Structure 1
Amino acid sequence: MKISFPKSSSFLRFWMSQTASTMAYQMLVVAIGWQVYDLTQSAFMLGMVGLVQFVPQLLLTLIVGHVADQYDRRRIVLLCQWLKTAMAAILAIGSLTGTLTVEIIFICACLIGGARAFELPSMQALLPKLVEPSMLARAMASAAGGREFAIIIGPALGGLIYALGSDIVYMTGAALFLAAGFLVLIIRLPFHTQRREKPTLQSLLGGVNFIRSKKVVLGAISMDLFSVLLGGATALLPIYARDILQTGPWGLGLLRTAPAIGALAMSVYLAKRPLASRVGHVMFAAVAGFGLATIVFGISRWFPLSLLALIVLGAMDMVSVVIRQTLVQLETPDEMRGRVSAVNAIFIGASNQLGEFESGVTAAWFGTVPAVVIGGIGTLLVVVAWMRLFPDLFRRDALLHEQPRVTSAVPEKSRSIPSAAP
C-alpha cells in the first residue's frame, strides 16, 4: 500500500514530523507501562499512567487553544518536541543508572501529557495552511494514515528495542522527538502578521462558543464522541482474548492491532480516492457500520471473525474521523482553529478514556458480551437520533461548501468571537 500525498514539500515535512512524534510516543508508552508494572506489580498504577497524561490535557484545554491561535504554531510544536525530548532523556538516564523511580516516571509522563496538550491542537490547526482547501480531505487521510502506521509499528518496535534495554527505547524516542521538532521548524508558511490578544474569558471560551454556533461541526464532533463512548470495547479485549476466544497473549496482540490495520487501509484508500459528494450520508453510514461491527465482535466466538470485525470497525472509524476533522477545519476560520482543535481534542480524549470506563462498568453490571452488544446498539441509536437532531450534517453533500466562508469578513475587533452560523 502506498499513501498518496498532496504535492507539497511542507505537507511532507508535516507528515514525517507527526509520524515520528507518534511513533516515539507509542514506543515510550510501551516502555513506561512495562517499567511501572515491573516496579509496582499493580494494575492500578498502570491505569494511573494514562490518567496523569490525560489530566493535563483536560485542565489546559482552554489555554492551549488560545495559545495556538495567538503564537506561531510551528514554534509551539517545536517547544513541545523539545520538552518531550528532555523527558525521554531523563527516563533514559534514570534507566541507565538504575535511579528511575515510579514518582519520576509519573512526573515525566505528566509533562509529556502537558506537551501533547499543546502540540495536538497546534498541529491540527497548522495542517489547513499547508494545502489548498480542495486537497484538505486527502491531506487529512494521509496524515491519519501516518498516525495509524506509527500506532501499529511504534509499540512493536518499542517492545523489540526494550529487549536491549529500556534506556535504548527512551534514547530512540528522544531522537525521534528531536527529529520531529526539526521537521516542523523547516515547514514553510506564507508570511502572516499575527495579532495577539490578551486572554479573556470570552476568548478562552471562543472554541466552545464557536462549536455551539456551528451545527454541522457540533453534530460531527458529538456523534463521534457518543459513538466511541458507547461502542468502544478495547478495554475488554483482554477478557475476550483469554476467556471468550481463548487465544492467549498472541491473540490479544492481534486483536489490539486489528482496528489500526483497518484504519490504515481505509486512510490509504481515502488518500487516493477522497470523498467528493454525499459526505453526510457516508459519515452516518460509517458510524452505523462501526456499531454493527461492534455487535458482530461482541457475539463472535470464532477468532477470525472477531479479527475481521475489528478490522472493519477500525476502517469505519477512519471514515468518520477523516470527514469530521476535515469539516471542522474547513468550517473554522484560521484565527479560531487552535481553540476549536483543542476542544475537539478533549472530545476525542474523553470519548476514548470514558469509553473504556463505560465498557468496564457495563461489563461488571451485565457481563462482557452483553456490554459490548449493548454498546453497539447504543451507537446505532445515536446514528438515528443524530439524523433528526442534525439534519444539515446528514444532508451535507461536499466537504468544501459551495460558498466558502471568507475569514477576513470577521471584524477585526471580534476575532475571538465566533461568527454567526450560516
Structure 2
Amino acid sequence: MSRFLLDISPLRQSRAFRYAYAARTATVLVTGMLMVAASIQLFEMTGSSIAVAGLNASMAIPMVLALMVGGVLSDRMDRRKLMLYSRSVYVFSVSLFLINALLPSPTIWLIYLAATIGGAAGGISVPAMMSATPALVGREHLAAAAALSGLSMQIGGVIGPSLAGLIIAGPGLIFCYVIVLAAVLTTPFFLKQLPALPPKGTQPQQPAIFHAFIEGFTYMAKQPLLRSLLLIDLTAVVLATPLALLPEWGTQVLQLGPEATGLLYSAPAVGATLMALSSGWTKTVKHPGRFIIAAVMLWGAAVFALSQWVWLPWSLLCLACMGAADTVSKILRMALVQKHTPDHLLGRMSSLWMTQSALGTAVGNMQMGVVSRWFNPTTAFFIGGGACFLLSSAFAWRNRSLKHIEN
C-alpha cells in the first residue's frame, strides 16, 4: 500500500522544503478565502456579475504579465529574495482590501487596485517557487514534491472558499479579511528560513528581460519533450474546461439551487485531493509521458460523460474524475519540466507553463461559454470533451518524444 500513498519524503528529508511548503499552503488557502470575500463584497456593492468577472480579470491580466517578468528574474537573482519581495507586496495588497472594507463607504476602484497588485505579486512569486524546488528537494524527488504542491492547492480550493463563506455569514466580511491578512503575514517568516537560492549556470552577459523571455520560449520550442508537454496541456484546458458552465448546469439543467452549484465547483478539487493523497506510485512510473496522455484522455472523457446523464451525483462523479486526471497530469508534467530544464532556465520555463495554463483556462472557459450560448451546455460538454479525447488520442499515436520518455 505504501507504493500508492502520498510520498512525503521531501517533507521528511528537507527542512527548507518544509518551510517553503508551509508558505505555499498558507498562500493557497487564503487566496481562496480572499477571492470569495472580494467577490461577495463586490456583488453586494454593485449587484453585477460583470463587476465580479472584472475582479478576476484585474487579477489575471497583471499576473500573466508578471509571470513573464518573474520567470526572467527567477533565472537572474536569488529566488529566496524574489519570493520574499513578492510576498511582502502581497501583504500590502491584502491590507488594501481590509482598509477599504473598514471605510464608511468602501470604493470599487480600491478593490480592483488591490486585486491588480495581488495578481502581479503572485505572478512574480510563482516562477521563483517552482524553479527553486529542485534545489530544495533534489531532482529525484520532483514527482513527490509536485504531488505535495498539488495537494496543498486542492485542499486550499476546497477549504478556503467554504471557510470564507462561513466567516462572512458569521463574524462578517471584515473579520474574514483580518484572518486572511494574519495568514499572509506568516509567509515572509517561513520564506526567511530558506537558504540562499541563486540560479546555477547563469550567463555572464544577460540580455534584456524581453529578449531573455524569448530565449526561454525558443528553448522550449526547440525541445520536443517540453513542446509536447505544453501542447497537450493546452489541448485539455482550451477544449474541455467546463467551469464557466457550472452555474448554468446546476440551476437551469439540473434545476437545483445554488448549493448544488457549490458542490459542482468543489467536485474537481475533491477528486484532485484524493488522487494527490494516493500519488505515491507516480515516482516509480517508467514512462510518465504515456500516463500524461492517458490522464488527458480521461479528462476529455469525463467532460464528455457530463453530457450523457443529467443527474447531480453523476455530474459530481464526472467532475471528480476530471480533477483526479488533472492532478496526475500536473504531477508528472511538473516533474518532467523541472527534470529536463537547465537550472538557469527553470524560472522562464515555470513562467511559460503558468502563463499557458492561465490563458488556456480563460480561453477554454470562453469557448465553452460561446458553444453553450449557440447551442446548450450539454452540447458544449459533448463537443469539448469529445474533441479533447480525440486530440489526446492523436498524441498517443503520433508523438514519440512524449510516449518514449523515461523517468
Partner of residue 16 from structure 1, selected from 15, 22, 27: 22
Partners of 2:120 and 2:374 lie apart in 1 by: 34
Q: After superposition, give the CA deviation of every residue in 1:350-407 in whole Å (9 maximum; x if it has no partner).
A: 1211111111001111211001110001101221232355311022232xxxxxxxxx
- Work out the CA distance in 2 between the residues paired with 1:170 and 1:79: 21
2:376 to 367, 378, 386: 367
Runs of 5+ unmatched residues, structure 1 = 399-422
Does the Cα contact within 8 Å between 1:129 and 1:189 map onto a contact in 2?
Answer: no
Task: Select the residue among 84, 87, 93 that pairs with 1:87.
Answer: 93
Give the match for residue 187 of structure 2: 180
Distance in 1, matches of 2:280 and 2:144, equals 5
Q: Which moved more, 1:111-120 or 1:199-208?
A: 199-208
In structure 1, give the amino acid aligned to 2:45: L
Residue in 1 that maps onto 2:148: 142
Match of residue 44 from structure 1? 50
Distance in 1 of aligned mates of 2:327 and 2:64: 24
Structure-2 residue corresponding to 1:265: 274
Secondary structure of 1:70's aligned partner: coil
Please identify, of 200-209 and 32-41, the stretch whose mean Cα deviation from structure 2 is larger. Answer: 200-209
* Separation in 1, partners of 2:91, 2:65: 23
- Residue 285 of structure 2: SS of its match in structure 1? coil
Among 162, 167, 177, the residue aligned to 1:170: 177
Q: 1:42 to 1:127 in 2, by over 3 A?
A: same
Select 1:155's aligned residue among 157, 161, 175.
Answer: 161
Paired-residue identity, %: 28
CA contact (8 A) 1:61 1:346 kept: yes
Q: 1:58 aligns with which of 61, 64, 75?
A: 64
Q: How does 1:232-381 map to 2 (within 5 A)?
A: 232-271=241-280, 274-381=283-390
Match of 2:78 among 64, 72, 78: 72
Report the Cα distance in structure 1 between the residues aligned to 2:126 and 2:56, rounded to whole angstroms.
17
Q: 1:59/1:132 Cα in 2 relative to 1: closer, same or farther (>3 Å)?
A: closer
Task: Give CA-to-partner distance per residue, 1:299-354, whole Å, 9 cap, x none.
Answer: 22121111111111110111111111111111111110111111111000012111
Offset of residue 191 of structure 1: 7.5
Runs of 4+ residues over 4 Å off in structure 1: 189-196
CA apart distance, 1:202:
3.2
Asked if the contact 2:5/2:280 (under 8 Å) is kept, the reply is no
- Per-residue CA shift, 1:139-160, capped at 9, x if unaligned? 1101111111111111111111
Unaligned runs of 5+ in 2: none
Q: Measure how far apart 1:112 and its partner are.
A: 0.5
Structure-2-length-normalised TM-score: 0.93
Aligned counterparts of 2:343 and 2:105: Cα–Cα separation in 1? 46
Contact 1:206–1:336 (8 Å) recurs in 2:
no
